[in-house]
Amino acid sequence: MEENFKIIATTFKGLEQTLAEEVRELGGQRPKTLVRAVSFYGDMGFLYKANLKLSTALRILRPIAHLRNIKSVAVLYNKIYDIPWEEYFDADKTVFFHVSGRLDGIPHTHFVSQKVKDALVDRFRDRTGRRPRVDNREAQIHINLHMFRDQMSVALDSSGDPLFKRGYRKATGKAPLNEVLAAGLIRLAGWKGDRHLIDPMCGSGTIPIEAALQAMQVPPGIFRESFSFMHWKDFDAELYEHIRQAMLKRVREPFEMIKILGYDKDGRMIDKARMNAEAAGVDDFVRFEQKDFFRTEKIPGPVTLIFNPPYDQRLSLRDKEDFFRRVAAHLKEHYRWSTVWILSDIPLGRYFGRRPFRTYKLVNGKIDVFFSGFNIE
């Protein structure tokens, strides 16, 4: 039996606990929340599962070295050279470096990545007579370098392209909501597919589509054709396909009486949302309608609303105060006995005349935001 090893899944600030819960549900061992990440243990098959199934993960990393006492460029070169790179991938692969943080005494990350590249290439040339090539656009091997003081964590990025690139988004509008963040909002809201869900300002449909994927237990990574781990020496194609097919067999239809709806006043956005839903295979379970939120009313039955209205720099909003006051007034008049979750860059309690029953602090792009829940009675 293959031994477990340490794996790190990265995510957005504020979603660490949510991701840890997903890891635990999937069967990851000893999950531990970090800053914008969760560490856990699993075997290679679990690494494949994590890439396919974790809806709130951005990247799945396989740590291979932790370097200490990097006091100079020469020390950095030697420590990188000593890593047995040829055991992980072949020299005919293309490589890309993701660099974050900084090293004391070596302030420029570009210089660091250049020295790392030199050491890696020299190691391959000395050991195999061949060398990999750096490709900044479509690399097969992604290497993650995180620096702090005089230390560097080195990991193979098993995902390649970040996992928010699901593969179903065919069309977008201005300032589209990131798929990983959308999946996190749904989980934070506690929606389990057992009550109606409405996004009344849905844009290109990310929240309703991600909700349908969760309700149907569709692995969000199932639409992707490739992951970086497919280019590793120890990639087991048969095991990966077995895991993929097993996940597909667990896909189910949502509860028959539950509706997942998306409204937007822009008909062009509704067309894009429908196109994306079709690409995701959920167009039979999600309905998009061209409607102005301020002219909508609650549908019968228990309802959860989750939406990401325009705010701050993302989109121009002449009078933010008036906008949120109108939103709150419309919800209180037309959506009584509903649970409402709103993403915003300002606290919304004063507009509803009460504090939210729960608020999460998140980041949307570069904007600090609040995800607030209100019971409308």
Q: Residue 229 in contact with residue 337, Cβ under 8 Å?
A: no
Three-state DSSP at 63 gives strand
Above 80 in pLDDT, residue 256? no
Alpha helices per DSSP H over 33-134 = 44-53, 73-81, 109-128
Q: What digits encode the pLDDT tens for the residues 92-130?
A: 999 999 999 999 888 787 888 899 999 999 999 999 999
211, two tokens: 């909700």
Q: What digits encode the pLDDT tens for the residues 52-64?
A: 999 999 999 999 9
Q: Return the bridge partners of 65, or none.
A: 154
Would you say how long the chain is, in residues?
377
Q: How does the average pLDDT of the chain come out, rounded? A: 94
Q: What digits encode the pLDDT tens for the residues 169-193?
A: 887 777 789 999 999 999 999 999 9
Q: What is the percent of the chain with per-residue pLDDT over 90, rounded to a whole number?
A: 84
Three-state DSSP at 92 gives coil
Give pLDDT, residue 315.
47
Lowest mean pLDDT, pick from 28-37, 231-240, 309-318? 309-318
Q: Residue 21 in contact with residue 55, Cβ under 8 Å?
A: no
Per-residue pLDDT band at 199 (split at 50, 70, 90): very high
Give pLDDT, residue 258.
86
Q: Which of 212, 191, 223 is nearest to 339 (CA)?
A: 191
Alpha-carbon span 212 to 218, nearest angstrom: 8
What is the β-pairing status of strands 367-376 and 358-364? antiparallel
Q: Which of 60, 8, 51 is nearest to 32 (CA)?
A: 8
369, two tokens: 């935001």
Give pLDDT, residue 310.
82
Give pLDDT, residue 174.
77
Give the residue extent of every domain in the chain. 5-157, 179-221+246-376
Per-residue pLDDT band at 312 (split at 50, 70, 90): low
How many alpha carbons fall within 13 Å on the CB side of residue 310? 16
Secondary element (H or E) of residue 240:
helix 237-249
Residue 333: how many other CB atoms lie within 10 Å: 11
Secondary element (H or E) of residue 38:
strand 37-42
Above 60 in pLDDT, residue 1? no
Domain 179-221+246-376 in CATH: superfamily?
Vaccinia Virus protein VP39 (3.40.50.150)
Q: Residue 210 in contact with residue 280, Cβ under 8 Å?
A: no
Per-residue buried b or exposed e for 149-187, using 16+ beta carbons within 10 Å of the residue's own CB: ebebbbbbbbbbbbbbbbbbbebbbeebbbbbbbbbbbb
Above 70 in pLDDT, residue 2? no
Q: What is the percent of the chain with per-residue pLDDT over 70, rounded to a whole number?
A: 98
Class of domain 5-157: alpha beta
Three-state DSSP at 307 gives strand
